[in-house]
Amino acid sequence: MEQRVFEASAPGNIFFFGEYAAAYGKPAICAAVDRRTYVEVKERNDTKVLVDSDSFGKGSSEIKGNTLVNKRFEASELSTTFDFLEMLVPKLGIKKGLELKISSKVPVNSGMSSSTALLCAAFKAVSSFAGKQIPPEKYFDYIYPMQVKVHGGRASGAEIISSALGGFNRIQKIEAEGKTSLDWQQLGTHKFSIVVGNTRISSPTSLSVKYHLPSLIARKKDFVFGIFDEMEEICKAAESAIAKNDEAKLGKLMNKNQELLSSLGVSHPKLDDCIEEARKAGALGAKLSGSGWGGIMFALAKEKDAGKVLKAIESTGVEAFKAEIGGRGVLSESSKASNNAEAK
């Protein structure tokens, strides 16, 4: 029996500047990377909802009225996917079951926005399945509540714009009258050469965002918000440097941002090791991305030096790869009909 199939993808991101401060209303600069998450949604002829993730295994549920019931999954990480689908069932008027297949090139729990890439790609595929054409500029309204949950109760939302729209973006969260919105500005198209080092040390964002930083603020509020003020000034200077394609200036600002993150206690010895070796090998700048405590770091390098920087990062025992940044956001990969027999 013929089944409709919808496919979509969305990129991961790096935080050039402003992580942590962005969750407290300061600006951040994010860039989409060329590692993407792919989602395929296939229509079913019943009300079952099946999820198959290459990272976290399988899960199942069933649509009943305006909600999902009997949720079961092999790994707790799939709970976010099912919670998101449960939210979308009434919002998008979904009545028929579906199969959702996830494959990703974005390292999980790494600081490359793996969860946001998944949510953006899933939203594109599922909304298309539901017959809704929702512009990427509106994705924030649907995805932000889930990002808050993933991040332990507080999130900037910056990665949503970056994954949805792609490119380089200056993003600032605005909270007024009980509502959260984003002020964002695209910073144009630029070609910068970066090398990413993945420590493969798993670091869920919720640990540092929900526990470490609030405890630090409770004890040293003036110190923490003074750091955030400095990060804001770095973001302002970085906007100008990006507009001028001033790589040397960007590198210096990255190094300064890393110093500030270290002072907040969110770096890690292995991140510091990678960053030091990258700089010694000629990187213009190097810093962690995202919540820290593991995950990734990245180095900005001239194209002629990128290979040397990559080898230097690899020498610390981590995985390293070159990446293009500032590419395209969420994409519809295809929509088609399948003649496969109905899944059981």
Q: How confident is the model at residue 94, as a pLDDT?
A: 95
pTM of the model: 0.88
Residue whose entry in the numeric block shows the structure tokens 């920087």:
309
Per-residue pLDDT of 285-339, as tens digits, reads 999 998 888 899 999 999 999 999 999 999 999 999 999 888 899 999 875 555 5
CATH code 3.30.230.10 for 3-66+78-188? yes
As a dihedral over the C-alpha atoms of residue 13, residue 18, residue 22, residue 23, rounded to 10 degrees, the angle is 80
Average the pLDDT over each of 81-90, 137-146, 206-215, 271-280 and give the range with the smallest value: 206-215
Residue 128 has pLDDT above 60, yes or no: yes
Name the residue type at position 164.
Answer: A
| CA distances in angstroms from 321 to 15, 107, 191, listed in the order given | 17, 12, 16
Domain boundaries, the chain: 3-66+78-188, 193-324
Residue 298 · residue 197 · CB < 8 Å: yes
Q: What is the rounded average pLDDT of the residues 203-226?
A: 87
Q: Coil, helix or strand for 15?
A: strand
d(CA 210, CA 231): 20
Percent of the chain at pLDDT exceeding 90: 73
| CA distances in angstroms from 188 to 14, 239, 310, listed in the order given | 16, 10, 27
Name the more confident of 102 and 335.
102
Q: Which of 3.30.70.890, 3.30.70.360, 3.40.50.920, 3.30.460.10 would CATH assign to domain 193-324?
A: 3.30.70.890
Per-residue pLDDT of 242-290, as tens digits, reads 999 999 999 999 999 999 999 999 999 999 999 999 999 999 999 999 8
Nearest one of 290, 118, 284 to 207, comparing CA atoms: 290
Task: Please state, rounded to an integer, the average pLDDT across all residues of the chain.
Answer: 91
Q: How confident is the model at residue 172, as a pLDDT?
A: 93
Q: How confident is the model at residue 336, as a pLDDT?
A: 58
| Residue 343: pLDDT band with limits 50, 70, 90 | very low
Residue 156 · residue 231 · CB < 8 Å: no
Per-residue pLDDT of 155-203, as tens digits, reads 677 889 999 999 999 999 888 877 888 899 999 878 788 999 999 998 6
Q: How confident is the model at residue 338, as a pLDDT?
A: 56
Residue 321 · residue 310 · CB < 8 Å: yes
Cα dihedral across residues 216, 218, 219, 224: positive or negative: positive
Cα dihedral across residues 210, 298, 19, 167: positive or negative: negative
d(CA 159, CA 166): 10
Pairing of strands 98-104, 48-53: parallel
